[in-house]
Amino acid sequence: MFTKRLLALLGTLGLAGAFIVVLTQWTLGLPPSAASDAAAAPMFSQAAQDSIREVEAPDISFIQSDSATCSRPKPGSGVCTIRWTNLYVTAASGSYIISMTVSIDNQMRAYHAGFFQDNIYIPSEMTGPGYQVTCGYPQGDAGLGNTYSYTIRARETTGLSAANYGSVTCPADVVRVYLPLVRK
């Protein structure tokens, strides 16, 4: 009795498997001769797979930052300032910005936090004169100073993050210190 029930169950499963193969062929538009290839064929067409990837791809934050500039406000001091005209980050729909950070040469220089904000806008006036760095000695034929890499990162409530990367070269500035000649 048990053997008859087991055979009936296996027959039903085999019939269901054949039905799935035929349904897959019909959905994909395969010819009936491709019955053996249907099991190896993907479940969806390439166009369907692409559209599924688009639906599954998460939205991430968007950072807009103009190119950084480095200037030498006071010649002979050896101090340059890096600044942006503005920094702007917006969150994906349905989420909020948690924070935006500015790092120069892997050293965090600014941390801006949001509180239930869709975006954060930081104009250059909020960062004062800019982020101070050393200008550096003249290098190469152009005579420019140090080059700094920067990273602007943003995090949002969904756990996603975005980043902008870049570099900026400062003008050279040599500090000359003259010590008085003191005789003993």
One DSSP character per residue, 117-136 reads ESEEEEEGGGGTT-EEEE--
What is the predicted pLDDT for the residue at 81?
95
What is the predicted pLDDT for the residue at 105?
95
Catalogue the E-assigned strands of 55-106.
Answer: 62-65, 69-71, 79-83, 86-90, 97-104
Mean pLDDT within 74-87: 92
**Cβ count within 10 A of residue 103:** 18
What is the predicted pLDDT for the residue at 150?
94
149 pLDDT tier (thresholds 50, 70, 90): very high
Do residues 78 and 173 make contact, with C-beta atoms less than 8 angstroms apart?
yes
Q: How many helices (H) and strands (E) does the chain have?
A: 3, 10
Going from the C-alpha of 58 to that of each of 29, 91, 129, 161, the distances in angstroms are: 31, 12, 37, 11
Q: Where are the domains of the chain?
A: 2-56, 62-171
Summarised one tens digit per residue, pLDDT across range 95-146 is 898 999 999 999 999 999 988 888 889 998 888 889 999 999 998 878 899 9
Do residues 122 and 86 make contact, with C-beta atoms less than 8 angstroms apart?
yes
> How buried is residue 112: exposed, middle or buried, by Cβ count under 10 Å (0-12/13-18/19+)?
middle
The overall average pLDDT reported for the chain is 76
For 127-159, b/e burial (b = at least 16 CB within 10 A) is beebbebebbeeeeeeebbbebebebbbbbebe
What is the predicted pLDDT for the residue at 114?
81
Summarised one tens digit per residue, pLDDT across range 32-65 is 544 444 444 444 455 544 544 444 444 566 788 7
Distance in angstroms (rounded) separating the CA atoms of residues 67 and 88: 13
Distance in angstroms (rounded) separating the CA atoms of residues 77 and 133: 11
Return the DSSP state at 30: -
Domain 62-171 fold is: Immunoglobulin-like (2.60.40)
Q: Which residues have a Cβ under 8 Å from the Cβ of 117 and sit 6 or more positions away? A: 91, 96, 97
